[in-house]
Amino acid sequence: MTTQHKSKSLSWKEKFRDRLIEIIGADGVISSDDELIAYECDALTGYRIKPIFVVLPNSAEEVSAVIKECYKENIPYVPRGAGTGLSGGALPTEEGIVISLSRMNKILDVDIPNQRVVVEPGVVNLWVTDAVSSSGYYYAPDPSSQIVCTIGGNVAENSGGVHCLKYGVTTNHVLGVEMVLPDGEIIEVGGKTLDHPGYDLTGLVVGSEGLLGVVTKVTLKIINKPEAVKTLFASFDHIEDAGAAVSGITVRGVIPAGMEIMDSFCIRAVEEAVGAGYPVDAGAILLVELDGPTAEVEALLPIVEEVLKENNAIQIKVAKDAKERELLWKGRKNAFPAMGRISSDYYVQDGVIPRSKLAEVLGEIGELSKKYGLRVANVFHAGDGNLHPLVLYDSSKEGDLDKTLELSGEILQVCVDKGGSITGEHGVGHDKKRFLSLMFDEEDLDAMNLVRCAFDVKGLCNPGKLFPTPRTCVEPGMKPFKEHPLQKAGLGEMY
Amino acid sequence: MLKKNIINNLLRIVGEKNALTEEAEFKSFSVDDVLPEIVLFPNEVEQVSEIMKLASKESLSVLPWGSGTKSALGNKPDRADIVLSTKNLDRIIEHGASDLVTTTQCGITLKKFQSILNKENQFLALDPPHVGKKATVGGIIAANDSGPERLRYGTAREFLIGLKVVSADGAIFKGGSKVVKNVAGYDLPKLYVGSLGTLGIIVEATFRLYPVPEYSETYLVSFPTLEDAHGAVMTLLNSDIVITSLEILNPELISSLTKRNDLDIKDNQYTLAIGIKNVEKAVKDQVSTVKTLCDQNGGKGKIISGVQEEKFWDDIRDFPWKLFKTTRVVCKASVLLTQIPQVLETLKRLSDENGIKTYISARAGNGILIISIKGEPSSMIESLNSLRAFVSSIGGHLIIQEAPCEIKAGVSVWGDFGSGVGIMKKIKFNFDPDNLLNPGRFIT
């Protein structure tokens, strides 16, 4: 199909643009090269593709009209939130358009007594908590990018955050969506009430990386702020000890709200950047946050302290007040941006291992770092075993990037070998599709494709992502083939 | 009738000892009076796959089966050649106690599963009914069954992090993973929670677990009016008290429970049951706050703990089955939690008008009402239809969980599947193109 599009004349593109302008208005269609550059990639900047146009719809109806037009003309499209994704999930498709949901940014309904908030997809994550905070509530999923990333993007990627050990990730807090299907139909699944009859389509759509349709409205669950919060900080000489402490805490029956580890590289970078008060000579630090009823937090605090001591913690500090707590977290939340200070370039990996294997895997990552001669910084959601090794490299050095990608790939292999996952929260997107086969065999991927074909038989919605190799569907509702014969013969690329 | 050679082939797969072939043995495997032609108890996942390959080649319909405790859920099946029970697939595959994760075959009963996990002071945070009657883990996932503690922990979708399925054509595939955080690929476990065996046979499940709370107490408190009771609910829900379960019981239910349990509380009033599990001091502190808040709202009650408390919650989970041994009508309404009083009042009015009796336990923090009805079949049909009309008019849903065929003939079991029904049907078609799995009972 790509080749077909290319052969179409410029006037065809102009006609298509005119149709889009008719639907959204001229100010909602971006077509100049200068402006399109901003949409060439998401936060994974290594891959760039310029879309033919970007549309900025204002409503589900406009999204639907655009998608119907795409369906008619077989134009692929990629939905986009704030573009903070780290897996290239919003990377445009060749000869395709980008549907940016940034204008659909209204909070539609704040229903405190029922603990629900309904938002448009372009609403920024933190706005939800801001809207309910004065009533004593908050929206739990808190990715590090929460001051800019949007709920629509969070839904697509099933975003996590630093507090999901206890409270879960996006999928545990989304109760329903309105979405535009790839044929343009607008449907509602789930909603403010629970237990809708039928399959849990909401559960399927959350984390589907924008491959099943375009979400235009999201119903969220909000929760009560805890009575008490205590944040502990511990420093260690060796990161393996910090890892063992994390496992030790849960084994003792304590599930903190979050547990985060940073290694010495990160500590130094963060200290320079924000001055969070971390000891710069430590091998690693661990943040543990306990929350809940005061009596519970008070009972668990000594258990955590004991485990920290058992695992050779050097310094243990409990934040005295909200201000100290925020400072400790500020360091963690700024870890990625701060890395810019110690390395011109870095690649963020995202893998998951069973918590009990933390110490072991951290050691193996250290070995890999030596083997490749590249520095690897570790900052991660230790409580749920979600690693974020940052491979530091220099893009001006020839071969450095290739080595970096190879090393990052080996880290994923280690994660899978330990019974883990190739991604805990950043998604597969474009970046990791070749690694999906480490976890899933052909039968598993076939089952996933059955889902995709139920939604998007033409394969126009964010094509080329997630699946390791292109898979096709036959006709509406029909069982998909594994591979189209034309493709097998190398005669055509199918979306 | 199944052809002799097909029966022989099926018996060859599972072995004669693991099959029932005589009609006399089928009675406890009937679904809405539809009897199967053969009941199979495979011992291995590969056998399930072989059965499905044969079924798909011969176009045989298959009813996946755990212990049959929820066999009354859903429409009457269009056909039923094979009942495929997973009850022999009951091995725990791994329990990573230090990771609070476990993988098990799905035919294991929840009771046995919990008792093994409890040895490590952990548990699967699901408290559905029928646990005493051998409800299996697979059946609980397939029916998306839960109990009062969903307020604190959620439902199976929150803990099912991975699964293995045998598809309609016998392929074996997996979804999710064995770690608590994972976003690789579509979230297939979510699709299977509540899919009622229509998309494949769930043979293995991986769950995240929780530590067993140290201590538990329940405050049982009755109120002069429903308004007072619900006022207390709203105060509690808007506080930072971490409640494990919160139920509003209607007077009919509380009076029948009082008789059974020697509860010694006012039995002609709406009653709240507020369960809190935590470390002991946190329980005592919070129960004391709960008591103060409720009593300020006109409540009068008592704190129960230990065996009496356990028995009380057992009764709440299973009340429709404990109160009615044979003919039962059980349904579940879902509305916003602020709408619960409206539904309770509607049910009171319908009871008075139609001469029926209703027993209700409402999950006050979730907007879910479990309702059991007693009366003449025609009155019950009329009441259920009126109730659904009301619940739908306020944006909610009503599902009939269990009812005799004559009731099902007069009331839609599932109600409206909503605007996603087209996609649901396509999913069903893609996963089971020949409509072999539980045909007609759910999405078809």
Cα A323 to Cα A272, A295, A326, A336, A337, distances in angstroms = 19, 22, 5, 22, 22
- Cα of first residue to Cα of last residue in chain B, in angstroms, is 23
Question: Do B215-317 and B324-408 agree at the fold level?
Answer: yes
**Residue A340 — φ and ψ, nearest 5°?**
-55, -25
HSE, side-chain direction, 13 A CA sphere, residue A112:
16
Q: Phi and psi for A30 in degrees, rounded to 5?
A: -100, 125
Nearest CA in chain A to B193: A200
C-alpha Rg value of chain A to the nearest Å: 23
Q: Indicate if the pLDDT at residue A489 is higher than 70.
A: no
Residues B70, B67: Cα–Cα separation, whole Å: 8
Closest chain B C-alpha to A22 CA, distance in angstroms? 28
Domain with CATH 3.30.465.10 in chain A: 107-224
- Best probe of the B interface among A189, A194, A446, by most B CBs < 10 A, is A194
Sorting pLDDT into bands at 50, 70 and 90, what band is A481? Answer: very low
- Could you give the CA distance from residue B384 to residue A174 in angstroms, rounded to a whole number? 30
Residue range A107-224 forms a domain whose CATH class is: alpha beta
Give the separation between CA A462 and CA A424, rounded to whole angstroms.
20
The 10 Å Cβ neighbour count of residue B433 is 15
* pLDDT surpassing 80 at residue A8: no
Report the distance separating Cα A54 and Cα B269, nearest Å.
61
Question: For A114, which of B173, B281, B336 is closest by C-beta distance?
Answer: B336
| pLDDT tier at A482, thresholds 50, 70, 90 | very low
Instruction: State how far residue A473 is from chain B, nearest Cα, in angstroms.
Output: 10
Close Cβ partners of B191 (under 8 Å, ≥ 6 residues apart): A199, A200, A203, A204, A451, B175, B199, B427
Please name the CATH architecture into which domain B92-211 falls. Answer: 2-Layer Sandwich (3.30)
Separation of alpha carbons B84 and B78, rounded Å: 16
At A124, is the secondary structure helix, strand, or coil? strand
CB-nearest to B242 from A164, A171, A292 is A292
pLDDT at A5: 53
- Collapsing DSSP to helix, strand or coil, B8 comes out as helix
Q: Which of A199, A424, A427 sits opposite B181 (nearest CB)?
A: A424
pLDDT of residue A274: 87
Question: Which sequence spans correspond to the domains of chain B?
Answer: 4-85, 92-211, 215-317, 324-408
Q: How far is A379 from chain B (nearest CA, A)?
A: 16
B396: CB partners within 8 A, 6+ apart: A193, B333, B334, B335, B336, B339, B343, B367
- How many angstroms away from the CA of A185 is the closest CA of chain B? 10
User: Given a cut of 70, is residue A28 above it in pLDDT?
Assistant: yes
The number of residues in chain A equals 495
Burial B269-293 (b: 16+ CB within 10 A, else e): bbbbbbbbbbbebbbbbbbebbbeb
**B190/A477 CB distance under 8 A:** no
Q: What are phi and psi of A224, to 5 degrees?
A: -65, 140
* Cross-chain residue pair B184–A115, CB shorter than 8 Å: no
- Provide the residue-wise pLDDT of chain B in tens; the chain has 444 residues: 899 999 999 999 999 999 999 999 999 999 999 999 999 999 999 999 999 999 999 999 999 999 999 999 999 999 999 999 999 999 999 998 889 999 999 999 999 999 999 999 999 999 999 998 899 999 999 999 999 999 999 999 999 999 999 999 999 999 999 999 999 999 999 999 999 999 999 999 999 999 999 999 999 999 999 999 999 999 999 999 999 999 999 999 999 887 766 777 777 899 999 999 999 999 999 999 999 999 999 999 999 999 999 999 999 999 999 999 878 999 999 999 999 999 999 999 999 999 999 999 999 999 999 999 999 999 999 999 999 999 999 999 999 999 999 999 999 999 999 999 999 999 999 999 999 999 999 999
Report the CATH architecture of B4-85. 2-Layer Sandwich (3.30)
Environment class of A316 (CB within 10 Å of its CB; exposed 0-12, middle 13-18, buried 19+):
middle
> Which pLDDT does position A9 carry in this prediction?
60
3-class secondary structure, B232: helix
Strands (E), A61-158: 77-80, 97-100, 107-111, 116-119, 137-138
Complex ipTM more than 0.85, yes or no: yes
Provide the token pair at A426.
Answer: 């950043």
Share in percent of chain A as helix, strand, coil (round to 5): 40, 20, 40
Q: With contacts defined as CB-CB under 8 Å, which chain B residues touch A258?
A: none
Pick from A452, A418, A448: nearest CA to A436: A448
The answer to whether residues B67 and B129 touch, using CB atoms and an 8 Å cutoff, is no
d(CA A151, nearest CA chain B) in Å: 16
All CATH 3.30.43.10 domain ranges of chain A, comma separated, are 2-100
Contact: B426, A476; criterion CB under 8 Å: yes
Rounded to the nearest angstrom, the gap between the alpha carbon of residue B216 and the centroid of all alpha carbons in its chain is 23
Q: What is the pLDDT of residue A344?
A: 84
In tens, the pLDDT along A415-425 reads: 999 999 999 99
pLDDT on residue A491 = 45
The pLDDT of residue A475 is 53
Give the CATH number of domain A228-417; options: 3.40.462.10, 3.40.50.1970, 3.40.50.620, 3.30.420.40. Answer: 3.40.462.10
Cα dihedral B293, B298, B302, B304 in deg (nearest 10) = -50
Task: Count the neighbouring beta carbons within 10 Å of the beta carbon of residue A151.
Answer: 31
Kindly give, in sequence order, each residue whose CB lies less than 8 Å from that of residue A294, ignoring residues fewer than 6 positions away. Answer: A227, A228, B282, B285
Assess contact for A200 and A265: CB atoms under 8 A.
no
Burial B328-343 (b: 16+ CB within 10 A, else e): bbbbbbbbbbbbbbeb
Alpha-carbon distance A381 to nearest alpha carbon in chain B (angstroms): 10
Q: Kindly list the residues from chain B whose CB atom is less than 8 angstroms away from the CB atom of residue A194.
A: 334, 366-368
Q: What is the band of A179 on the pLDDT scale with cuts at 50, 70, 90?
A: very high
Best residue of A291, A349, A421 to probe chain B, by most B CBs closer than 10 Å:
A421
Q: Which pLDDT belongs to residue B97?
A: 87
Helices (H) and strands (E) in chain A, counts: 18, 20
pLDDT digits over A219-260, tens only? 999 999 999 999 999 999 999 999 999 999 999 999 999 999
Chain A residue at shortest CA distance from B234? A113
Assigned CATH for A2-100? 3.30.43.10
Alpha helices in A151-237 (DSSP H): 151-157, 164-167, 201-205
Å between A372 CA and nearest CA of chain B: 26
Q: How far from B304 is each of B274, B278, B310, CA to CA, in Å?
A: 10, 15, 9
pLDDT, tens digit, for every residue of A91-103?
999 999 999 999 9
d(CA B416, CA B428): 17
Query: Which positions in chain A touch B242 (Cβ < 8 Å)?
Result: 226, 292-293, 296
Mutation pick from B141, B178, B186 vs chain A, by most beta carbons of A within 10 Å, is B186
Beta-carbon separation of B194 and A424 below 8 A: no
List every span in chain A annotated with CATH 3.40.462.10. Answer: 228-417
Q: What's the fold here for domain B215-317?
A: Alpha-Beta Plaits (3.30.70)
- Mean model confidence pLDDT for chain A: 92
Chain B residues close to A182, C-beta within 8 Å: none
Q: From A96, A95, A100, select the one nearest A122 (Cα to Cα).
A: A100
How high is the pLDDT of residue B430?
96
Nearest CA in chain A to B211: A253
How many whole angstroms separate alpha carbon B212 and alpha carbon B122? 5
The CATH code that applies to domain B324-408 is 3.30.70.260
Single-letter amino acid, residue A135: S
Give the span between the Cα atoms of B97 and B103, in whole angstroms. 11
Within B224-374, where are the H helices?
226-237, 251-261, 280-296, 306-323, 340-354
Strand order in the sheet with B300-304: B300-304, B215-222, B271-278, B245-249, B357-363, B368-374, B329-334, B397-402
d(CA A190, CA A109): 16
* pLDDT the model gives residue A337: 82
